[in-house]
Chains A and B, each alone.
Chain A
Amino acid sequence: QLHLQESGPGLVQASETLSLTCVVSGGSVRAAGYYWAWIRQSPGKGLEWIGAVYYEGATYYNPSLRSRATIFLDKSKHQFSLNLTSVTAADTAMYFCVRDVLVPGALQTPWFDPWGPGSLVIVSS
């Protein structure tokens, strides 16, 4: 059974870089056919896709976050990470890491399963 677990600081200062890691257990980030993605949810708001990385290293990002977000794999440690630079209060959110199933013939699909429990990040000024 695949499990994902987010980790990182719960508090980040405004203008600094938010860094989160997702440890994958019960499976491999090297497996073909899967992206590894980050999704966030601001308090009381809906879901927002941040971006995803494929096992070969290809990435896709939300256009609204592309200039600040980087997602990358660490295959040796079975984990993937998110860096979000120049954070503001608007980046305060619960951050989820997810496995994204790639459907043959599609660039990518929002087939997110499973999800990590989430990591709350508060940006303070």
Chain B
Amino acid sequence: QSVLTQPPSASGTPGQRVTISCSGNSSNIGRNSVYWYQEVPGTAPKLLIFGSTQRPSGVPDRFSGSKSGTSASLAIRGLRSDDEADYYCASWDYTVSGHVVFGGGTRLTVL
């Protein structure tokens, strides 16, 4: 049972816009930034979004992040076949001396 809640799956067709949600509470997302990772099967995860809304250099602007209260979202517009991957959100949680918490991951399928 992950501390951050994500839908297990999402899907879309090429060119569409999809969003993936990440729900937490006042001990984590409510007080801290959210980070998003993309994991293509067989490869190490890759940072997509930091500070809830910022993209590292090299990440296309088709990817965007947002945060409101204790929830966050990752949006992907102009969906492409190579966006098919697992997506994870993460945040810092202030309970129990502080630790990093991840969402359970969302498997994105491009139909």
Contacts and interface: CB of A to CB of B under 8 A. Distances in A.
A101 B33 CA distance: 13
Interface residues of A, number: 25
Q: Chain B interface residue count: which class? A: 20 to 34
A109 B35 contact: yes
Interface string B38-49: 010001111100
Nearest to A48: B102
A47 B33 contact: no
B44 A63 contact: no
B16 to A, nearest CB: 25
Nearest to A46: B105
Contact of B50 (A61, A107, A111, A116): A111
Interface string A27-49: 00000000001000000001111
A47 B88 contact: yes
Given A63-B96, A106-B92, A110-B90, A49 B44 contact: no
Contacts of A115: 44-46
B68 interface: no
Interface of A: 37, 46-49, 52, 60-63, 96, 101, 103, 106-113, 115-118
